[in-house]
Amino acid sequence: MSKIMLFGENNPVVTVPASEMLMKSAGFDVVNGQLSFIFATSEGKRGYGKQAIPVDSLEESYLVLEELAELGVKSDDYVPTTSEVIQQSIILSSEDGSVRFKTQSEKGKKPTYFMSETDFRGFVSKFGELLPAILKKAEQIKQG
């Protein structure tokens, strides 16, 4: 049976604080073969649902959330720095062992490609060797 709204869908949903919803919804389930802690933070809000954190990742996940709560959450119009984009996008392909990352977060930007992790390490090493010369030249360009 589908959910039927008694007074229509334009009426606001009465919500409780997320801390209260945590207490109401907390539980455990097996997700992707892992025992996971299950919780929700809102009730009746379309497009949002329960979350699952593998038990093995609970403490690490809590520490991340705690830090974000203390330092503040970035707004949805936040533009990540280049180093954040690299860190968020770098992957090692399980299919062919290639490494890829992007330096710009815009949709449609193509990642750079390395044939292997060894190729990637060689690039990083050479980049490190060249960095002082690159920075020196950049300073000359800035000064005109």
pLDDT value of position 29: 93
Residue 62 has pLDDT above 60, yes or no: yes
Q: Measured between alpha carbons, how far is residue 72 from residues 48, 65, 67, 69, 77 in Å? A: 21, 10, 8, 5, 14
pLDDT value of position 139: 94
Question: For the chain, what percent of residues have pLDDT higher than 90?
Answer: 70
**C-alpha to C-alpha distance for 126 and 124, rounded to whole angstroms:** 6
12-31 mean pLDDT: 83
Residue 102 has pLDDT above 60, yes or no: yes
The residues, ordered by sequence, that sit 6+ positions from 53 with a Cβ below 8 Å of its Cβ are 36, 37, 61
pLDDT confidence band for 14 (50 / 70 / 90): low
